[in-house]
Amino acid sequence: MVYFILKRLVQSVFVMLAVAFLAFSLFRFVGDPISQMTGVETSVEDQERLREELGLNDPFILQFARFTSDMVQGDFGFSYRTRQPVAEMIADRIPATLELGVVALLISLIVGIPTGVYTALRPRGIATQAILMTTLVGVSIPTFVIGIMLIFIFGVQLGWLPTFGRGGTVQIGGWESSLFTVEGWRALLLPAITLGVYQLTLTMRLVRAEMMEVMRTDYIRFAIARGVPMNKLHYRHALSNTMVPVITIIGLQFGGVIAFSIVTESVFQWPGMGLLFLESIRFVDIPVMGVYLVVIAFFFVLVNLIVDLLYVAIDPRLRVRDVQ
Amino acid sequence: MIAFLKRYEGLWLFVHSPAAIIAAIVATLIILGAVFAPWLALVNPYDLASFSLFDGLLPPVWQDGANPKYLLGTDDQGRDMISSILYGARLSLVIGMSALAIAAVLGVGLGLAAGYYGGRFDAIVMRIADVQLALPAILTALLIDGIARGVLPPSVQQDLRVAVLTLAIALSLWVNFARTARASTFVQMNKEYVQAAIMMGQHPVRVMFVHILPNILGPLLVIMTVDLASAILLEATLSFLGIGLPADSPSLGTLIRIGMQFLLSGEWWILWIPTLFLVALVVSINILGDFLRDVFNPRLR
């Protein structure tokens, strides 16, 4: 058990190092940092002195080590565009993206798991066919089109919900939250649904496939033969065994949620990390791009680490295998 | 004989699946329209002389104030909507298909080699694939686009937009091909015909591409269809975000981005007609992909 956790920790550190290396290469090789920091009138000698002072002439490995240790200490450098510390810029945007992502993920699970179970238990029903067809169309409609459609229906035509921004936010110890005001929730609803729809179809399809797989196994057949009541059979015997894959989904979907939040934030002008990333691409603001990458990778690794630990907690078989 | 039966069975299933037939018709029509755009389109949206501002903002033909010359209306520049869409779909399909071709060659090549040689090479390819898989496709494509902006001199950037976009999409899609090709190759490696070919001293490249590849085409074809839909969606998304193609050579995504400006005014057709085309195209490709998966995987039936 301890060995397993340690192994996963070491793997996570390696992934983070790989991503940090990518970010560092971006920073070092895409454009010249010196020409970004100085104006046209800076003399060549001054530029060279600055280069020496900043250690840009040092060996590559040394530079990378310095870069990594700075990052670990929370020093992310300065933006080329705004000249502000990148750490501050990103930290300001994290709450908006995380709240959007978590609510979207919750929507996808709360709707996706029950429909997945239903369609697996009644594979030939008319409702099932209708749901499956709808999800196929749902997968094919790009996220930004879903966003535009929601804005058009609920924002423009009906005028029920706001179509951009975060509405009212409350400061809680430096965390700017929109979860505590009615206005905030109203503003959150459309973006969260937009972001959740695609994940919802994934959740549903995976739960359905897993559930159908489990229903074919011998122990379920035996339970049927033994006369276990159908309700108990479905929810106690079958569903609890599909929970491991469902947890995997949450881990895998997190990446998708973050990536698609770039699109959603752009459609709804939601002031999160994704919007910042888009702006930084447009202005080739390499430090912000690099740090965004590292922060996203960090969340991704963290979530997947937690998911792995949850596996062991849920599925006793994994513990046994590890001992052997 | 088995191959023939399989083909026959696929055809039989196709004739009995109305969704697949409709999807095939819609996809074929849009693709034909895109291919023959220069002959079908009323105006050339890239040629400023071929349309006029005086024809701007005309509604589709079934609404009041329409000009019967422009069946689906015009945009604010006076461009015929049908022409813009045909040319836009052409660009979207060209980018999507070339990206797919690059991804397929790269992915299948690496996957075959990984499955054939196994060992350390396989481990390296699969680790790279894992990292790539952890980065969602949109993020990869955006990143490559951003790097290209930083590396390329501004003078060539406009000319290379299509190439950069294609490459960005291709590099975010190769993993699916590599993983599928590798898994299928592993299965084939144990079969006698492959062992015999190796024993006869045939060159590994020949074994991979002449013997193994034809036998793993089925699952690859499914991936191909599904990923074509993804590639078109990715291109549309990037163009919509304003990272993809500029407004003077619009793809379907760019058209939708332009149409967004008219979301609050009455000119609904500028936004919704390109949107409808994009969704129809992607939905029909996805339905065909789903159908192919069922044909190649009888267990799911």
Render each residue's pLDDT in chain B as its tens digit; 301 residues: 555 555 666 677 777 777 888 888 888 888 888 888 778 776 777 766 666 666 666 677 677 766 666 666 777 776 777 888 888 888 889 999 999 999 999 999 999 999 888 888 888 888 788 777 767 778 888 888 878 877 777 777 777 778 888 888 898 888 889 988 888 888 888 888 888 888 888 888 888 888 888 888 888 888 888 888 889 888 888 888 877 676 677 788 888 888 887 777 777 777 888 888 888 888 888 888 888 877 776 554 4
Task: Give the separation between CA A297 and CA A289, rounded to whole angstroms.
Answer: 12
Is A28's pLDDT higher than 80? no
Task: Give the separation between CA B28 and CA A137, rounded to whole angstroms.
Answer: 18
Q: How confident is the model at residue A324 (pLDDT cuts 50, 70, 90)?
A: very low
| Closest Cα in chain A, distance from residue B135 (Å) | 7
More confident residue, A241 or B253: B253
**Are A263 and B279 inside 8 Å of each other by CB?**
no
Q: Looking at residue A321, what is its pLDDT?
A: 52
**Are A148 and B282 inside 8 Å of each other by CB?**
no
Q: How confident is the model at residue A36 (pLDDT cuts 50, 70, 90)?
A: low
Domains and CATH numbers, chain A: 2-72 (no CATH), 86-319 (1.10.3720.10)
Tens digit of pLDDT for each residue in A111-150?
988 888 888 888 788 888 888 888 877 777 888 888 888 8
Characterize the bridge pairing of strands A175-177 and A170-172: antiparallel
User: B158-165 contacts: CB < 8 A, separation 24 or more?
Assistant: B158/B246, B161/B244, B161/B245, B161/B246, B161/B249, B162/B91, B162/B94, B162/B95, B162/B245, B162/B249, B165/B95, B165/B235, B165/B238, B165/B244, B165/B245
**Is B280's Cβ below 8 Å from some Cβ in A?**
no
Task: Give the separation between CA A86 and CA A74, rounded to whole angstroms.
Answer: 10
Domains and CATH numbers, chain B: 18-36+79-296 (1.10.3720.10)
| C-alpha distance from residue B97 to each of A10, A44, A184, A220, B224 (Å) | 40, 47, 42, 45, 10
**Packed helices B252-260 and B217-240: angle between N→C axes, nearest 10 degrees:** 30
Task: Give the separation between CA A25 and CA A3, rounded to whole angstroms.
Answer: 33
Q: Looking at residue B103, what is its pLDDT?
A: 93
**Closest chain A residue to B299 measured between Cα atoms?**
A213
Probe site for chain A from B127, B138, B269 (most A CB atoms < 10 A):
B138
**Are B243 and A282 inside 8 Å of each other by CB?**
yes
Q: In a 10 Å sphere around its CB, with 0-12 CB exposed, 13-18 middle and 19+ buried, how is residue A126 labelled? A: exposed
**Is B264's Cβ below 8 Å from some Cβ in A?**
yes
Specify the DSSP class assigned to residue B289.
Answer: H
Measured at the alpha carbon of residue A76, what is the angle toward residues A75 and A79, in degrees to the nearest 5? 135
Per-residue tokens: A7: 């192994």
| C-alpha distance from residue B129 to each of A152, B23, B64, B122, B185 (Å) | 39, 32, 55, 10, 16
| B139 contact residues in A (CB cutoff 8 A) | 258-259, 262, 296
pTM (two decimals): 0.80
**Are B143 and A133 inside 8 Å of each other by CB?**
no
| A262 contact residues in B (CB cutoff 8 A) | 138-139, 142, 241
| Closest Cα in chain A, distance from residue B1 (Å) | 32
Task: Give the separation between CA B227 and CA B180, rounded to whole angstroms.
Answer: 13
Chain A to chain B Cβ contacts (< 8 Å): 96
Residue B126: CA atoms inside 13 Å, Cβ hemisphere, count?
16
Task: Give the separation between CA A256 and CA B200, rounded to whole angstroms.
Answer: 47
Q: Looking at residue A242, what is its pLDDT?
A: 75
Is A291's pLDDT higher than 80? yes
Is A261's pLDDT higher than 50? yes
Share of chain A above pLDDT 70, in %: 91
Per-residue tokens: B197: 């070919």
